[in-house]
Structure 1
């Protein structure tokens, strides 16, 4: 994806809490579209290979969560974490990470990830098809800035991490704000 390109129109299948449902699993299906998430907002979208995996759970997701206020100060309205995992997994991961500031997006079928050109095979790790690691600043549904890890390919021997880090995205936003003020 390049700056100026609109995100694909995709519907995500999510599970949301519904207190009108009795029993131990008070959740219902709710479709959420790309427009629902991105239209009229300036957001950070970051994607990673999988929920509960080491780099994703130790650095990337916690870093975006911890820096949420700093991102808001740079004009960011929301922070979304997307992975090619189903809604059940993403909801449990959000709960395990005690997320307050980052919302998770399940791309269970990989449709969004495929359409933005980031779907890769990770069969060498037993994962199947997953997302290559990236981050983006999305302004009203259009890519403003794109941060992609180098070396995108199927069954990569490593899991590069740096370009899509929260620190790198925050540095970019601060630099852009300073340039606008000058």
Structure 2
């Protein structure tokens, strides 16, 4: 039990709670230097029928997260896929803009 949130912890093979994520997606019809739009995406759309690994971080651009956490999952991505994981997701308290720039700086290609 997660005492702070007063919710049970998830275990392997549990379904994630229904949540709506605010995401930024490229939309070339927008044009200009910032061709992105906001899109609501549900946990069901992302995770339903898939086996995923989700890890969280204290924050983008922090020393340990930048040198160890995210690069570690990126380097082990193919091993996780070989074990039946469909996708690997990183979550943090940061906004979508910060996470995008951080992943770009670290040259992350596989972890979502």
Higher strand proportion (structure 1 or 2): 1
1:51 to 49, 60, 65: 60
Larger relative contact order, structure 1 or 2 (CA cutoff 8 Å, min sep 6): 1
Matches within 5 A, 1:20-39: 20-39=29-48
Secondary structure of residue in 1 paired with 2:90: strand
User: Does the Cα contact within 8 Å between 2:27 and 2:36 map onto a contact in 1?
Assistant: yes
Matches within 5 A, 1:4-153: 5-103=14-112
Counterpart CA distance in 2 for 1:48 and 1:15 is: 20
TM-score w.r.t. structure 1 length? 0.54
Secondary structure of residue in 2 paired with 1:12: strand
TM-score w.r.t. structure 2 length? 0.85
CA-based RMSD of the aligned residues comes to 1.3
